[in-house]
Amino acid sequence: MSSTTMMETLSIKTENKFRTLVTKRAYKQGEVICAMPSEDVREKPNRFTVQIGRDKHTHVGKLAALNHSCDPNVILDTENMVMVAARDIEKGEELFFFYPSTEWQMDAPFICLCGSANCINVVAGARFLPLSTLERHYLNPHIREMMIELLNNTQNNLKKIKS
């Protein structure tokens, strides 16, 4: 099945200007749902882009309608540029991913109302979340890399203060 065909299994619904991405078929956990489109790669994020590398933010076509959830049902794998089912998904479900799994520092932070027991409340990017929270989620390599760098910098600064 080509990625274009697979894209046809997704539909965008709009209600009061609020967009959602809904699947027209069921998926098994781990199944690739579609390729991630990459259009117009830029250095700075905006409210529609997905971060795919340290200084790489891309528009993702139809996938821009994906909303955030702290209990997501899909993963955006920026290494292989695919969207994958994080658990079994039923036909007609809205698809969500965990924004900090791709975003280090978001252009337009917001308050999350997902209602999950593990809700992070403020969605602003991975750099603002404690490790204990991030550890529970799938994280893309660029996020892991920047997280380690931040920790190392913090440790170095602490050493400077102590010496």
- Chain positions contacting Zn ion, by CB under 5 A: 70, 112, 114, 119
Q: What's the closest the beta carbon of residue 102 comes to Zn ion, in angstroms? A: 16
Spatial distance between the Cα atoms of 125 and 87, rounded to a whole number of angstroms = 23
DSSP at 99 = G
Spatial distance between the Cα atoms of 151 and 108, rounded to a whole number of angstroms = 24
Q: What's the closest the beta carbon of residue 114 comes to Zn ion, in angstroms? A: 3
Q: What's the closest the beta carbon of residue 113 comes to Zn ion, in angstroms? A: 7
Q: What's the closest the beta carbon of residue 118 comes to Zn ion, in angstroms? A: 8
Q: What's the closest the beta carbon of residue 97 comes to Zn ion, in angstroms? A: 12
Spatial distance between the Cα atoms of 33 and 83, rounded to a whole number of angstroms = 6
By C-beta, is 58 or 69 nearer to Zn ion? Answer: 69
CB 53 within 8 A of CB 142: yes
By C-beta, is 52 or 70 nearer to Zn ion? Answer: 70
* Collapsed DSSP state (helix, strand, coil) of residue 47: coil
Sign of the four-CA dihedral 143, 145, 151, 154: negative
By C-beta, is 42 or 136 nearer to Zn ion? Answer: 136
Spatial distance between the Cα atoms of 138 and 44, rounded to a whole number of angstroms = 23
* Collapsed DSSP state (helix, strand, coil) of residue 28: coil
By C-beta, is 70 or 75 nearer to Zn ion? Answer: 70
By C-beta, is 70 or 106 nearer to Zn ion? Answer: 70
